[in-house]
Chains A and B, each alone.
Chain A
C-alpha cells in the first residue's frame, strides 16, 4: 500500500498562474481532506470530502476549488495563485483505527507563489 500520495512535491508559481495539486489514496477511505500548513498557524482545513461526489468548505476555502474525481482521488485547484497561498499543502484520507476515525497524511506539496 502506498497510502496517500501527492504530486507534485514542489512547485513555484508566478502570481496569477493556475495549478492543480493531485492527491490519491489506496486505502479505500470514504473521506479525504486538504490542509495548508503555515509557520505559527498549524494545519488549517481548506476543503474536505466526506464521500465520493460530495465536497464541503473548511476553515480557509477562499481562492481554492476541489474535485473529488472518484473514491481514490481528490484534487485541489488554485485558479489564480497569490503570494498569500505560499504554503505547504497536505492531503489526508480518513479511516478507522482502533474503532474510531483517524486521518492518514500524504508527504505534502511545497508551493511558492512569487
Chain B
C-alpha cells in the first residue's frame, strides 16, 4: 500500500526566505506526483504536476522535483511572501487517476 509522508508538519518563516517542503512515498512505481495548495476553509488547488518520467517542474517562484528511485519529492518556494501562507499537500498517483495524499505541511510566512 502506498504511503505518503510530508515533513515538516508545520513551518513558520519570515517573508523573503527561500524554503523547501518535503514529501516521501513508499512505492516508487508511480504515474505522477502532484503538489496542491489548500487555503483555510477552501478546496485544493493544483500547483505543479510531475510526470514519472520528469525530474522537475517550475511555475513562477515554485519548483518541484521528483526522485522516484529514492521515493522523494521537494517543493521549493523562492522569496516567500505572506500570501504563500497555506497548507501544501503532496499527492501520488500510482496509476491512472487515484491519488494518495500526504497529511500536508502548514506554512506560515510572517511579514
Contacts and interface: CB of A to CB of B under 8 A. Distances in A.
A102 interface: yes
Interface of A: 4, 31, 40-45, 48, 58, 90, 92, 94, 97-108
A102 B46 contact: yes
Given A42-B4, A43-B99, A101-B97, 14 more contacts: A4-B43, A40-B103, A42-B101, A42-B102, A43-B89, A43-B101, A44-B101, A90-B44, A97-B46, A98-B49, A101-B31, A102-B46, A103-B46, A104-B46
In terms of DSSP, what is the predominant structure of the interface of chain A?
A: strand
Interface in B30-60: 31-32, 34, 36, 41-46, 49, 51
Contacts of A104: 46
Contacts of B43: 4, 90, 105-108
16 contacts: A31-B97, A40-B103, A41-B103, A42-B4, A42-B89, A42-B101, A45-B99, A48-B98, A90-B44, A99-B51, A100-B51, A101-B31, A102-B32, A102-B46, A103-B99, A105-B44
Contacts of B36: 105
A99 B50 CA distance: 11
A34 B75 CA distance: 26
Contacts of A43: 44, 89, 91, 99, 101
A89 to B, nearest CB: 11
